[in-house]
Amino acid sequence: MIGTAVFQSDVNEFFVYEDMELETFTLIKETGTWKCSLVTKRMDYMIPCYFLERDIDWDYGY
């Protein structure tokens, strides 16, 4: 299943990833964090928050 995942970084920023597989999100959630070595130098990891089974309609915000 493909959907939208929300992550929180160790510097309290939220990130939305669209078109992520539920299996990938579940694997990341089971390991606890997602290493962010390629994102920026100011953040070390992201914590998986929740997964939506649909894409977000950015025109309406849901």
Residue 43: in which H helix or E strand, if any? Answer: none
- β pairing state of 45-52 and 14-21: unpaired
Residue 1 burial by CB count (10 A; 0-12/13-18/19+): exposed, middle or buried?
exposed
**Residue 21 has what pLDDT?**
92
pLDDT tens per residue across span 3-60? 999 998 888 888 888 889 999 999 888 887 666 655 556 667 788 899 988 777 767 7
- Its pTM stands at 0.71
CA 35 to chain CA centroid, Å, is: 12
Q: Report the C-alpha gap between 41 and 54 in whole angstroms.
A: 31
